[in-house]
Every structure is written in C-alpha cells, then in structure tokens.
Structure 1
C-alpha cells in the first residue's frame, strides 16, 4: 500500500445500534489485521505506562443502505489491487462460529448477499472515488 492511506467504514444505518456497533468493530479488526501499520504501535507515557494505539489514522464511519454497500463492495473488488476490502455480509450474523462462516462462504455470491457493512483501506484517491458522496453516520 502507498504511504497515503485512507480508511472508511460504511454501515447500514437501518441496523439496530448494537448490531451497528458490532459490524463496525468486526470490520475494524479485519482492517487492522490486513494493514497492521494502521495500529500496530505502542505509546508510553512519562510514567512508563504503555498502551496499544487504537488507530494512526482517522476512521470515518459512513452510512449507506445495504444495496449501496453491496454496490461499493463490487466496485472495490473490480480492479484486483492490494487494498484492504473487509465486508460484513448479513448472513455472517447467523453463524456464531468462524469455521461455519468460512465453510459457508465459498457457496455464497457476494453480488446477491445483503452487506451490513464494508471497511476499506487504501490510497486516498481510491477511497474518495468510492465513498465521496456518502454521509457520516449520525
């Protein structure tokens, strides 16, 4: 990834608050795992207390309906680039074991799935081209 990385998380505002928070949290973990430079740092205060940072970049949480999120996902996947693309398909919520999700995923078609959220990390221009018209979640 280039030095000028930008992050965006897009969620469906129609989700109940708890599911919205869960979706954003799960996507954030995926982005951090895919691009460790986003948060793989520690800071120490003057008394020697060390913490892990939350993010080295702003993390805007944007809103869009599920069909728009799915469309953004499919656009993001078109050019096979080295960008972080972390979707949260709605069907994943019914599976409480990652192994079940992993087993079910190959039989799914992302173009037909409802997508509750999407995390993107990559060059600023790419992120803006996909999310520039979206509003912040309020």
Structure 2
C-alpha cells in the first residue's frame, strides 16, 4: 500500500494530496557550505478556492487569516526554512498550514449584544461627576 501525503487537519477534515503542492528552494541563513548546494527550504501551496475539503465560509475565514500568505489567485503559500533538513521543514510547513485551517474551521463568535447601563448606575455616575465638579469649584480663588 502506497503512503498517502494527505494532510489530516482534524478528525473529520483531511486536505487531499492533489490540493497541496510542495516546492523545495534554497534556504538562507546558517548551514555552512550546505546552504548553497541543497534546497532544504519548502514552499507549501494550498489551492484554497478549488478545495473540496472545507466549506465556503471556512475558505473565506482561511484567506482572511492567511493575510500576506494568501495570493491573488486564492492560494495559500507557506514557506518553512527553520530547520536544516528538507523533511523537518516539510513537516513544519504542513503543521503550520493545518493550524491555520483549524483556526479557520472554528465558527465565528456570536455578535455582541448591546446593553444599556441601569438607571442606578447612571444616577451614581452623575452624582460622582457633580461631586468632582464641586471639589474642583472649591479650588478657585477665595474672594477678599
């Protein structure tokens, strides 16, 4: 049986391998002479708009959460070059994408209900303001 490269996001959400595209590039930073010869950094591209794995609402939230990582075509591009090995960078990029998708799958919080201060709270506030005004009025010059 061949190993599948599908990305398990949650128990019920799996991003199919054909919607993910990996490209290896040369990484900058430490690595000695190895850095100039070996393409260890990975660019992981997720084709969001054509995806069947997540709902349209989740896609919208995902693209908003991705920010600069989202392209004009609706793809999400994640670069990973933290590690010196190709395999660890691949795992890092896949985990970062999965975390982003998990965040997008959470439903938005319910809208805030507007509330009014109680009558007593309004009266206490006005009373406190008048008290402060009296104190400040007493600070003026004393008439001769």
Q: TM-score, normalised by structure 2?
A: 0.26
